[in-house]
Amino acid sequence: MSLPSFLTITRGEAPLLVSLPHTGTEIPEEYVAGLVSPWLARKDCDWWVERLYDFAAGLGATVIHTSISRTVIDVNRDPSGASLYPGQATTELVPTTTFDGEPLYAPGREPDSDSISRRKALFFEPYHRALADEIARLRALHPHIVVYDCHSIRSVIPRLFEGTLPEFNIGTNGGVTCDPALESAVAELCRASGRSTVVNGRFRGGFITRHNGRPADGVHAIQMELACRGYMREPVGPVDEASWPVAYDEAHAAPMRATLTRILEACIGFARSKS
């Protein structure tokens, strides 16, 4: 089947699949009606994360990217609509608010269940089919592979967490989505960089990590949530249209890219050592 135009898959042969679910900014015309503003609709994009990891294909990783904004539908949420964090603030499969809690839609203009079903069929399912197909292809080449799900978020979001987020937030859903040796190797490299690091803190891994992580079957999934200040000149305090997003600054991002390179190399090394 041909690939929809919003999906990009760069195929490699190394035992590493890199997923970029939230860097898209496209909102097709039919989904714009009712949105409060284009800026709010893109505020929670994982800004510049595809550029941060643009070395991954050079390591032989397979990279999957969607250009569709998470505001249209969030491919890192349970398609049933179940919350990632029952009882805690989070955003939904088809978000109605930003992380900060601002309404994305004018009152009464939120997407209805037909619209949600259509978004699932058009954008959610193809992303997950691509993940499943590439996992199967790589598993046919290697007994063990790593699925590495890339994210970033602003450092201070009082609605979601207290204080300032550590720079590296590793999610393995409490240790169940990958071998403990992979989790430790990644955490060790994060700490060795001198940056603050937490494992299974506020962000434990979203749907992509939880759904695909099956270490007993040789599929080890790990989510990396970066605090934006680790690679962007992130403004301190609330952001507005004038201040967010800040432009990508290659020189400022370079130290983070060096650490991320070591992390992805370690993921490949882990998978090969298990094989």
Ligand X SMILES: N=CN[C@@H](CCC(=O)O)C(=O)O
Binding site for ligand X (CB under 6 A): 22, 46, 76, 84, 151-153, 171, 203-206, 223, 225
Yes or no: say if 95 and 70 are a contact pair by the CB < 8 Å rule: yes
Taking the C-alpha atoms of residue 92 and residue 73, their distance in angstroms, rounded to an integer, is: 9
Taking the C-alpha atoms of residue 204 and residue 222, their distance in angstroms, rounded to an integer, is: 9
Q: How far is the CB of 34 from ligand X (least distance, A)?
A: 22
> What tokens does 213 get?
């992580």
Taking the C-alpha atoms of residue 45 and residue 144, their distance in angstroms, rounded to an integer, is: 31
Is 221 strand, coil or helix? strand
Is 261 strand, coil or helix? helix
Compute CA distances 261 → 44, 54, 71, 79, 167, whole Å: 25, 10, 29, 32, 16
Q: Which is nearer to ligand X, 152 or 193 (CB)?
A: 152
Q: Which is nearer to ligand X, 62 or 76 (CB)?
A: 76
Q: How far is the CB of 221 from ligand X (least distance, A)?
A: 12
Partnered with residue 149 across adjacent β-strands are: 19, 223
Q: How far is the CB of 210 from ligand X (least distance, A)?
A: 9
Q: How far is the CB of 213 from ligand X (least distance, A)?
A: 12
Yes or no: say if 219 and 209 are a contact pair by the CB < 8 Å rule: no
Q: Which is nearer to ligand X, 204 or 274 (CB)?
A: 204
Helix (H) / strand (E) containing 273: helix 250-274
Q: How far is the CB of 209 from ligand X (least distance, A)?
A: 7
Q: How far is the CB of 21 from ligand X (least distance, A)?
A: 7
Longest distance between any two alpha carbons in the chain, whole Å = 54
Q: Which is nearer to ligand X, 142 or 183 (CB)?
A: 183
Q: Which is nearer to ligand X, 14 or 260 (CB)?
A: 260
Q: How far is the CB of 245 from ligand X (least distance, A)?
A: 13
Taking the C-alpha atoms of residue 259 and residue 197, their distance in angstroms, rounded to an integer, is: 13
Q: Tokens 């990891």 sit at which residue?
A: 53
Q: Which is nearer to ligand X, 14 or 116 (CB)?
A: 116
Q: Which is nearer to ligand X, 206 or 215 (CB)?
A: 206
